Structures are given as C-alpha cells and as structure tokens.
A and B are shown apart, each in its own frame.
Chain A
Amino acid sequence: DGGITQSPKYLFRKEGQNVTLSCEQNLNHDAMYWYRQDPGQGLRLIYYSQIVNDFQKGDIAEGYSGSREKKESFPLTVTSAQKNPTAFYLCASTPLTAPRDYGYTFGSGTRLTVV
C-alpha cells in the first residue's frame, strides 16, 4: 500500500541533543511538508520542499534543519537550538502537478518529548 511512514512513533530527547525524525513516502509525490502540532495551536509549518534539493522555511523554522536529497525522503532534525521541542510532528505530501485536486496525505506522526 502506498503511504507516508514516519518513524519513530515516540522519541525522547535529552536537553542539548539533536534528533532526526524520519519521513518516507512511496506515493511518488513531489512536495513534502513538516508541521508541528501543539494543543490549541493547530498545525504550524516548519519546512517544506516542492522538489528534490528544494528546501524552504515555513513559519516556525528556527531550531530545525533538514534536507531533500531524495524524492521519497524528507528528514527533519530538531536541533538543540529549538527552545521547546516537545510536540507532535506531522509529515505530509502532495503531488505537485495537481495539488489543487488533492488534499495532503499525512503520516501517523512522531511524538517528541524532551526529558
């Protein structure tokens, strides 16, 4: 079955550590997105990529980094510079050729907790 796989499902990070969240899709979608979800704040865009080697900042990019070296993969690194990283992280994708006809396909999310 085609879809988006996020791993791990749960992740614990110590203060001062960098961690990388994985997002892989086999839908042949061009564009991929990372959102952060906090209670009562909805989804906020961290980074997005419309094609391979494209990487664009969203509304809350500070403290995050990433890359898009392969079409199917869009990892996100939460760096030690991110002041409050505890949140639920969602990855999404959509085909670029017809984004108007498709909603996004979302992964199941990664819950990151700082301990």
Chain B
Amino acid sequence: AQSVAQPEDQVNVAEGNPLTVKCTYSVSGNPYLFWYVQYPNRGLQFLLKYITGDNLVKGSYGFEAEFNKSQTSFHLKKPSALVSDSALYFCAVRALNSGNTPLVFGKGTRLSVIA
C-alpha cells in the first residue's frame, strides 16, 4: 500500500527566512512524488515532481524539493519565504510500477509566512 505522511499540520516562518515543509512516503518500489499548493477555496496547483534523476528538484515560484531515498523523504524547501507563499501544501505519491493507480495525498501542511 502507498502512503504519505506530513508530520506538521502547521508551519510558521518569518518572511525572508528559509522554509521547509516535510513529507515522508511509503511505497513498494520506486516512487513518483509530487508537491501541490492550494489557496483558499481553490483547487490544487502543481508545484514540482520527482520521477528519476537529480535528487534536488526545482519547481514553480522558487520552490525546490529534495528526494532522499534512504530516509524515504521528499521535503519541500524555499530559500526565502514570501507572505504570498502562505497556503496549504500537499505531498503526493504513487509507485513507479503500479500501473495507473491514483495518487495518494498527505493530509496537508498549512504554511503561514509572517511579515
């Protein structure tokens, strides 16, 4: 079975400081990993993905994520947070060789960037 854990319900960070939103996963075999962002009363927007290759993935709006196979983690990072980054962030996973099974999403982490 596939699963995703986002251990923090809420992350608070001051504007200009680096931010990290944590994600760990469990799949059989190699994973496809995604990060999405959701603004209030909106659908989810794709930020970035890891499939294969470089463990550091760069995405939209200056976000990046680091894939760590030994720790089964895919933490989202940004060097300098903006107030406009405040939103709900979701990590998602599916196994590489699972056919077309749906993505499994974490419970989400609410990021609050304080001016």
Q: Interface on A for B, CB 8 Å cutoff?
A: 4, 6, 31, 33, 35, 40-43, 45, 48, 50, 58, 88, 90, 92, 96, 99-101, 103-109, 111
B34 and A103 contacting across the interface, CB-CB below 8 Å: yes
The residue from A31, A48, A109 contacting B43, defined by CB atoms under 8 A apart:
A109
Query: How many residues in B have their beta carbons less than 8 Å from beta carbons of A?
Result: 23
Per-residue A-contact encoding for B1-44, CB less than 8 Å = 1, 0 else: 00000100100000000000000000000001010100001111
> Is B53 positioned at the interface, with any CB of A under 8 Å from its CB?
no
Roughly how many angstroms separate A109 CA and B51 CA in the complex, as a whole number? 27
**Which residue from A45, A48, A105, A108 sits with its C-beta under 8 Å from B42?**
A108
Q: Is the CB of B102 within 8 A of A48?
A: yes
8 A-B pairs in the complex with CB atoms less than 8 angstroms apart? A6-B43, A42-B108, A43-B90, A92-B43, A103-B46, A103-B49, A108-B43, A109-B42
Is the beta-carbon distance between B107 and A58 smaller than 8 angstroms?
Answer: no
